[in-house]
A and B are shown apart, each in its own frame.
Chain A
Amino acid sequence: MSMFCYQCQEAAKGTGCTVAGVCGKKEELANMQDLLIFVLKGISIYATKARELGIENEKANKIVFDGLFMTITNANFDDARFVDFIKEALKAREELKTAYIKAGGLEIKNLHDSAIWTGTSIEDFEAKNKSVGVLATINEDVRSLRELVIYGLKGLAAYTEHAYNLDYTDNSLNVFMQKALADTTNDNLSVDELIALVLETGKFGVDGMALLDKANTSTYGNPEITKVNIGVSDKPGILISGHDLRDMEDLLIQTEGTGVDVYTHGEMLPANYYPAFKNYTHFIGNYGNAWWQQKEEFESFNGPILFTTNCIVPPKKDAKYANKVFTTGTSGYPGSIHIAGRKDGKRKDFSEIIELAKTCASPIEIEKGEIIGGFAHNQVVQLADKVVDAVKTGAIKKFFVMAGCDGRHASRSYYTEFAEKLPKDTVILTAGCAKYRYNKLQLGDINGIPRVLDAGQCNDSYSLVVIALKLKEIFELENINDLPIVYNIAWYEQKAVIVLLALLYLGVKDIHLGPTLPAFLSPNVAKVLIENFGIAGIGEAEDDIKLFME
């Protein structure tokens, strides 16, 4: 075994990748990512102690959330970036240690190796990185709970970073991420204490999603009902993928008047819903589907691709688009040009992508028509009377939250079949790229309310929570589980994990999770989730529908 990772839904054999990642990451990269997480734990131990003495280090805070984000599935495949980042992280840890001691901090008893080990070269890092990964925790249940927390923190880190890019911060998120990372090194925590930490991670997940919602909507307006074009224009284009709306804004501003059009891809589709972006006539619409179809869709697009976050799928060796891939933020791919971060409040410089786009052919049209979306909380609350009326008259019998991520497994056709076979008096509430399994089906509407209500990106699952809580208030219900809402969620990576933990924290029960349960849930931990929260997997679409409609 040369690596071990089981953080995503496609983990090999449903247990873990041990030779190379199904995602495409090689063992060297997997091990370097493990070392980064290890060093972030060390930073967190010192940061948490230093904080007790009133010391706050913004640089270290950013390193922690950026570092966590970089290790999200399909975010960053660039080994060299990880090596450099680990060096930065070690420097930051030493700065915190120095500040802590200077402020009178006492020697930390039983200091964890992550706060002690150091190195300067790739060779030093390679000598260490195979022994600090997931399997370093021997007890299977402790390991499972620690990893559940860490993957939740990765999702929270991503949301924190996007909010930060819009100049919105909530330091309690940094405080928690670091406290929790430090806690994963504490061998004295009981299983019950770790379970409490998992729920606490969910609490901060809610806070993180709330912050990002505030950041996005305060900056770009509240998403509104929008018909999104899925066809193409006759000009060359740039395809922007991932989640970062600040990058979207910079790109739209710089491409205006250049003769190059802009298209969104994957999780960037919801950018079409924001009022601030609707003034750009060269913003054509959305191209393609969820992340895993990118190898074909990026070829037919013809123009350059800008990744602002995951999910990057390593291009095939003979891919024509391979030399047109750009990354920015925490994303990265070896050989792809990486657009640097913002300095002194200036915009990112996308001129190189624009110049390349001008030399490319216009996109090949792969489909025609429109997708409807924009049903974030503000829009839905405006329709509240209509929705409440439909529920009271029985026109809407049940809501199905089908938010989450899409992936490659053929078994995910379940979600298409499920959506198609749902009774006509039901409405699907969605967010995240799981929507691509059913957002182009013509499922009709109920009294003018579309049967698929897309709130936006995975972080916009927050909107679904706000909507549920609003309905609970209107119907004067005691418990969120008394609502006619069923949760049938698809997951793939770690942002889905924080969304799940957020829902568990809010008391949502009986969530069905698919297409498979996480490999990182040990049998005992899975049992805890099943017995205490009613977590379940998926069966056959028709059987599940019968079960849910009872």
Chain B
Amino acid sequence: MKTFVDKEACIGCGICENICPSVFEMREDGKSYVKGDTVAAENKDDALEAECECPVEAISHEE
């Protein structure tokens, strides 16, 4: 699975990093970034949870 953050929509709240720190990382520009190329199988559930919880729906994914 690949996951993406829409940088325009991202408000830098950090909830994705707090829900799934192995996939999402808040960087100095105040936006969320996806670590690595694909989401490891063991992180998939948490990454999808983070996508679900993003208050501005900035996260999407592709199988």
Known contacts A22-B55, A314-B55, A317-B57; is A408 also within 8 Å of B19 by CB? Answer: yes
* 10 A-B pairs with the lowest CB-CB distances in the bound complex, closest first: A12-B13, A19-B11, A22-B13, A24-B55, A409-B18, A20-B11, A22-B15, A410-B19, A295-B52, A13-B14
Contact residues, B10-63 vs A (CB, 8 A): 11-15, 18-21, 26, 46, 49, 52-53, 55-57
CB neighbours of A19 from chain B (8 A): 11-13
B interface footprint on A302-320 (CB within 8 Å = 1, 0 otherwise): 0000000000011011000
CB neighbours of B46 from chain A (8 A): 410
Instruction: Report the minimum CB–CB distance from B49 to chain A (whole Å).
Output: 8
Chain B residues bordering chain A, tally (CB within 8 A): 17
Q: List 18 A-B contacts (CB under 8 A).
A: A10-B15, A12-B11, A12-B15, A17-B13, A20-B13, A20-B55, A20-B56, A21-B13, A22-B14, A24-B55, A314-B55, A316-B52, A408-B18, A408-B19, A408-B53, A410-B21, A410-B46, A411-B18
Q: Which one of A23, A296, A317 lies within 8 Å of B55 (CB-CB)?
A: A23
Chain A residues bordering chain B, tally (CB within 8 A): 21
Query: Taking beta carbons and an 8 Å cutoff, which residues of B are in contact with A?
Result: 11-15, 18-21, 26, 46, 49, 52-53, 55-57
CB neighbours of B14 from chain A (8 A): 12-13, 22
CB neighbours of B21 from chain A (8 A): 410
Q: Which one of A296, A316, A317, A408 lies within 8 Å of B15 (CB-CB)?
A: A408
Contact residues, A298-350 vs B (CB, 8 A): 313-314, 316-317
Q: Is A414 an interface residue (CB 8 A)?
A: no
B interface footprint on A268-295 (CB within 8 Å = 1, 0 otherwise): 0000000000000000000000001001
Chain A interface mostly: loop
Alpha-carbon separation in the docked complex, A296 to B53 (Å): 11
Alpha-carbon separation in the docked complex, A502 to B14 (Å): 31
Contact indicator A316/B18 (Cβ below 8 Å): no
CB neighbours of B52 from chain A (8 A): 295-296, 316
CB neighbours of A20 from chain B (8 A): 11, 13, 55-56
CB neighbours of A21 from chain B (8 A): 13, 55
Alpha-carbon separation in the docked complex, A255 to B53 (Å): 33
Alpha-carbon separation in the docked complex, A22 to B15 (Å): 7
Contact indicator B18/A10 (Cβ below 8 Å): yes
B interface footprint on A18-34 (CB within 8 Å = 1, 0 otherwise): 01111110000000000
CB neighbours of A13 from chain B (8 A): 12-14, 26
Alpha-carbon separation in the docked complex, A213 to B50 (Å): 37
Instruction: Report the minimum CB–CB distance from B35 to chain A (whole Å).
Output: 15
CB neighbours of B26 from chain A (8 A): 13
Alpha-carbon separation in the docked complex, A23 to B53 (Å): 9
Instruction: Report the minimum CB–CB distance from B42 to chain A (whole Å).
Output: 13
Instruction: Report the minimum CB–CB distance from B53 to chain A (whole Å).
Output: 6
Which B residue sits closest to A14, measured CB to CB?
B14
Which A residue sits closest to B10, measured CB to CB?
A19
CB neighbours of B56 from chain A (8 A): 20
CB neighbours of A17 from chain B (8 A): 13
Instruction: Report the minimum CB–CB distance from B32 to chain A (whole Å).
Output: 11
CB neighbours of A295 from chain B (8 A): 52-53
CB neighbours of A22 from chain B (8 A): 13-15, 55
Which B residue sits closest to A515, measured CB to CB?
B18
Which B residue sits closest to A20, measured CB to CB?
B11
B interface footprint on A115-143 (CB within 8 Å = 1, 0 otherwise): 00000000000000000000000000000
